[in-house]
Amino acid sequence: MIDYQKQIITAVKKVMPAVVSVIVAKDLKEIAADLPEEFYNLDPREQAFLESKLRQAPRDEHGRIKVGGGSGFLITKNGLILTNKHVIADPKADYSVITYDGKKHETKILARDPINDVAILKIDSGGKELPAVELGTAKNIELGQTVVAIGNALGEFQNSVSTGVVSGLSRLITAITDPLGHQQRLRGLIQTDAAINPGNSGGPLVDIEGRAIGINSAVVFGAQNIGFAIPIDQAEKDLEEIKKYGHIRRPFFGVRYMILNKSLQEKFNLPIDHGALIMNEGMPGDTAVVPGSAAEKAGLQEYDVILAFNKKNITEEETLEDLIASCKIGDKIDVEVLRNGKKLRTKIVLEEFLLHR
């Protein structure tokens, strides 16, 4: 037991200097413009009290108010940082990073992954070598393996360390990944009972050797000991894209869908038991088939059922998103569709995911 504890302590000491705080700050005018409708329904005295508190809130050297934050971790000695996309999702906010030595750095956002909850930041190292976390792999991790979640968000959760085990692999969850409340399906996640909280979200999930195998990402609220991390291998693919193209590229099909199950099969009186039912399950204003996408160009419609993609059946185990992720931009794909009880076949060309969509 003593040797086991020493291993964990050694791993934490190895990693902690490279774990950073990501600070989210906004001007008072921007904060006021984004106040929810519920604020204006409050009693005038309550409004005045909250406005007074907001005006008195501590400000940085540029007069901005801290409105949030999370963790991240350095992965190169010249200042590349990994964190969660949801930590830096607000386009109206300014972002800075505080390193373990207490120094504050202006931050450049290199990329937000359009599919995964991953973002890549860059700070100026000032010509110095910064501490960096060694990257491992999630490909060989096993159930029951010891892991450590580390964070360094300023405030309530500063220098957060929690231990646990890998309790699940290749998990699928739906998470909110931006300030507007948009939901996103996150796939292939590592499930752990190591406590994931707002302090260590964006920080590394490391093995007992101190190698990053994931990025702490999400927690199931209302459930005990259920946290999730993005496999580090997904982030490494993003880094390769950045180096090669200057941004993250992803193949894009252009449908919103639900995987067919018995309930949907009965509801829509469908004669098949597998596939992806095209329908809008997201925010109001979203369309089931994205305008201008490969799916629209191929004539796909809401309530079509995509049975097969690239000659592979779509199931709960191998979803449409999984199959798209296995393809490349520009690939010509055979698609089999069920529409009004009849099977149709068409071909599509996968395009690059564009953020303005």
Residues 47 and 72 in one domain: yes
Q: Render pLDDT for 294-307 as a digit per residue (tens, 0 to 9).
A: 999 999 999 999 99
Q: Please identify, among 226, 245, 264, the residue that sits at the C-terminal boundary of a domain.
A: 245
Mean per-residue pLDDT, 27-36: 66
- Higher pLDDT: 304 or 222? It is 304
Please tell me which residue in 90, 113, 117, 304 is annotated as part of the active site.
117
Report the CATH number at residue 27: 2.40.10.10
Q: Indicate if the pLDDT at residue 44 is higher than 90.
A: no
Q: What is the pLDDT of residues 65-118, one digit of tens each?
A: 776 788 999 999 999 999 998 888 888 888 889 998 889 899 999 988 877 889
pTM of the model: 0.76
Write out pLDDT tens, residues 267-297.
Answer: 888 888 899 999 876 555 578 898 889 999 9
Dump pLDDT digits (tens) for 152-203: 876 556 778 899 999 988 887 776 555 555 566 677 889 999 888 777 889 9
What residue type is assigned to position 138 of the chain? A
pLDDT of 183? 62
CA distance 316 to 256: 15
What's 332's domain CATH number? 2.30.42.10
Mark whether 281 and 264 lie in a shared domain: yes
What residues form DSSP beta bridges with 172? none
Task: Evaluate whether 335 touches 306 at the Cβ level (below 8 Å).
Answer: yes
Instruction: Assess whether 23 and 106 both reside in one domain.
Output: yes
Q: Of 206, 228, 245, which one is at a domain's C-terminal end? A: 245
Is residue 157 a part of any domain in this protein? yes
Pair (221, 258) in one structural domain: no
* CA–centroid distance for 89 within its chain: 10
Which residue in the list 71, 162, 201, 217 is annotated as catalytic?
A: 201
Domain that holds residue 223: 146-245
Residues 264 and 185 in one domain: no
Residue 241 shares a structural domain with residue 309: no
5 located within any domain: no
Burial class (CB in 10 A: 0-12, 13-18, 19+), 248: buried
Measured torsion, CA atoms of residues 160, 165, 169, 172, in degrees rounded to the nearest 10: -40
269, 336: one domain: yes
Domain match, 260 and 344 both: yes
Q: Is 117 a catalytic residue?
A: yes
Residue 128 falls inside a structural domain: no
Q: Please indicate, yes or no, if residue 305 is contained in any of the structural domains.
A: yes
> 201 an active-site residue?
yes
Catalytic one of 86, 96, 160, 207 = 86
Q: What is the per-residue DSSP string for 259-281?
A: E--HHHHHHTT-S-S-SEEE---
**Number of domains, the chain:** 3
